[in-house]
Amino acid sequence: MVHNVVARQSRVAVVCLAGMDVGLCTEKTGLQLSDRDKLVDLVAGIWASKPQTPVLLVSPSFTGFESFLGELSSLGFNYFLVDITGVPESILSGLPLERLVEYFLGLLEASLSDRRRAKRASPIVSRRELLRRLFLLPPRHVVVPEPAGSEPCDGGVCPYNALDRGRVREEKCRGCMLCVWECPSAFKPLHWTGIPGLIQAYSYIDKHGLDGILFICHNNLGVLDSIAAEASPARLLPFHVPCVSWLSPQMLEELSSLGVYIHVFYDEDRCRQCSLRLAAEKASSKLRGRGVVVGSSLVQAGGAAFTGYMRPRRSLEEVVRLLSTSVTLRRQG
């Protein structure tokens, strides 16, 4: 389940920005995130020769990543295939950049099937709005949950009324994934924030004695430039998600019970601007209900410092079993 680095290296384009050299780069450039248009051309060039290739940017800062993804989106590219790591996360985790790149290669591999499933969609607008904004609507990509079995999911679970008698109405679905974790019998589990992704993260914190995991969405990554050091002396492994609504509260509670400090970044003001605002609100309240730390300041993480060295060692098989049980119990309940 924990993927081999050498095997996956050829499948991911590792683009090192601003002249950075971390040894695992497949491409080095002097461009920075602020050189948005040229960077879009560079990534588009990679996809022109190797479509659907995941791209990992390695950058000295994350400011501008959100607008870079926005630009890819407005041009109709599947921006789910792009991720980033770099100096702010080396500060956050205390890991050298090469180890972080290695970890993200594993995460990309674990989440690749979900990322590649993203389909181009257009936002839902009223007819009047559509007429007003005709041709100006930026395309976006959505990962739609995959049905499994026949048990329907209650329509009230979806904040966007996209569940109709158990069926997902794709034109309304925003891919928030609340229904996947609320109705595990009705949908196939996710790989990104399900067992494959979480085991990849657990194996890294276990191997490097890290204290916990910071879950943060792509739209908020820029804030790490200024707050990554707040968690010190605790060492947190970053885990990027499309939205906090992609997280399973049961699984995160289970990871906490293993002695892993779990922090979910959520900033009410920033998240209010997001198209998944309703889902993020619902998810953050469910996560808090499970005892997970949810918030925009990492200062509290400092209290978890050095727990990584004291945490009882568990085999990956045991962790997989515990995580699977949390979902199975939910299914039965």
Q: Which of 158, 205, 243, 283 binds ligand SF4 (CB under 6 A)?
A: 158
Minimum CB separation of residue 279 from ligand SF4 in Å reads 6
- Candidate ranges 31-39, 75-83, 105-113, 170-178; the one touching ligand SF4 (CB under 6 A): 170-178
Q: Is 39 in the site for ligand SF4 (CB under 6 A)?
A: no
Residue 163 or 304 having the CB closest to ligand SF4 = 163
| CA neighbours closer than 13 Å in the CB half-sphere of residue 171 | 3
Among 225, 257, 176, smallest CA distance to 63 is for 225
Binding flag, residue 244, ligand SF4 (CB under 6 A): no
Q: Does 281 bind ligand SF4 (CB under 6 A)?
A: no
Asked if 262 contacts 291 with a C-beta cutoff of 8 angstroms, the reply is: no
Whether the Cβ atoms of residue 294 and residue 254 lie closer than 8 Å to each other: no
Binding window for ligand SF4 (CB under 6 A); candidates: 28-36, 46-54, 177-185, 312-320: 177-185
# of chain residues touching ligand SF4 (CB under 6 A): 15
> What tokens does 7 get?
């095997």
The answer to whether 163 and 169 have CB atoms below 8 angstroms apart is yes
178 binds ligand SF4 (CB under 6 A): yes
Residues 212 and 234: beta-carbon distance below 8 Å: yes
Nearer to ligand SF4, 115 or 235 (CB): 115
CB of 80 to ligand SF4, least distance (A): 14
Signed CA dihedral, 218, 316, 103, 205: sign only: positive
Q: In sequence order, what are the residues at sequence separation of 6 or more whose Cβ sits closer than 8 angstroms to the Cβ of residue 273? A: none
Q: Contact positions toward ligand SF4, by CB under 6 A?
A: 145, 157-158, 160, 162-163, 168, 173-179, 279
